[in-house]
Chains A and B, each alone.
Chain A
Amino acid sequence: NAGVTQTPKFQVLKTGQSMTLQCAQDMNHNSMYWYRQDPGMGLRLIYYSASEGTTDKGEVPNGYNVSRLNKREFSLRLESAAPSQTSVYFCASSGEIAGSSYNEQFFGPGTRLTVL
C-alpha cells in the first residue's frame, strides 16, 4: 500500500497563477484533510472532507478551493496564488473507529510551494 500520495513534490508559481495539488489515499479512509505548515505556526487545517461528496472549511480556507473527486482523491486548488500562500502543504486521511476520538491521521509527503 502506498498510503497517502501527493503530487507535485515541489512547485514554484508566480503571483496570480493557478494550480491544483493532488492527493490520493489507498487505505479506504472516509476522511481527508489539507493542511499548510509554516515555520513557527504548526499545521493549520485548510479544508477537510468527512466523506465522499462533502467538504468543509477549516481554520484557513481563504484563497483555496477543494474537490473530493471520489473516496480516494482530494484535490486542493489555488485559483490566484499569492506570496502569502508560500508554504508546505500536507494532505492527510483518517479512518474512524466508531465511538472513538482517537483516530490517527496519516500524512502524505507534502508539497513545497513557493509563490514569487
Chain B
Amino acid sequence: RKEVEQDPGPFNVPEGATVAFNCTYSNSASQSFFWYRQDCRKEPKLLMSVYSSGNEDGRFTAQLNRASQYISLLIRDSKLSDSATYLCVVNIRGDMRFGAGTRLTVKP
C-alpha cells in the first residue's frame, strides 16, 4: 500500500464549479501536511499547508482528519488557471512523502 494515496483523476470541470480532492495516508506518525500544485512540465510549488483545525486561503479550503488519516482540498469557483496537478504531501518525522497527484482540468 502506498504511504500517500490520491485519486489520479483526471477531474474535468467547467469554470465556476466546485471540486474536491481527497488524500489518505497510512503512517499515523505523520506530523504535517501540505498541498502542492504542479503545472505541466514544471516544478511543484506549495499551495497551502493543512492544519488540524482546517484552513482557508481565498477559494481554497484544506481539511485534515487525523482519526481517519485523510486530507482534503476544496476549490470553489474554479478558474481556467487552476488547471494543474495537485500533490498531497505528508511529513513523516522530517521525511516528505508525496502522493502521485490528482490532475485537474478546468474548461471554459
Contact = CB atoms under 8 A, between A and B. Distances in A.
A90 to B, nearest CB: 6
Contacts of A43: 44, 87, 98
A104 to B, nearest CB: 5
Interface stretch (A12-20, A68-76, A77-85, A107-115): A107-115
A109 B43 contact: yes
A61 B97 CA distance: 15
B43 A42 contact: no
Contact of B99 (A42, A101, A107): A42
Contacts of A105: 46, 96
A35 B96 CA distance: 11
Interface of B is mostly: strand
Contacts, number: 43
B32 A110 contact: no
B42 interface: yes
B8 A40 contact: yes
Interface of B: 2, 4, 8, 31-32, 34, 42-46, 49, 87, 91, 94-101
A1 B62 CA distance: 30
Contact of B45 (A35, A44, A107, A110): A107
Nearest to B92: A101
B89 to A, nearest CB: 8
A47 to B, nearest CB: 12
A45 B105 CA distance: 28
A90 B32 CA distance: 21
A102 B43 contact: no
A41 interface: yes
Nearest to B101: A42
B44 A107 contact: yes
Contacts of A42: 2, 4, 87, 97-101
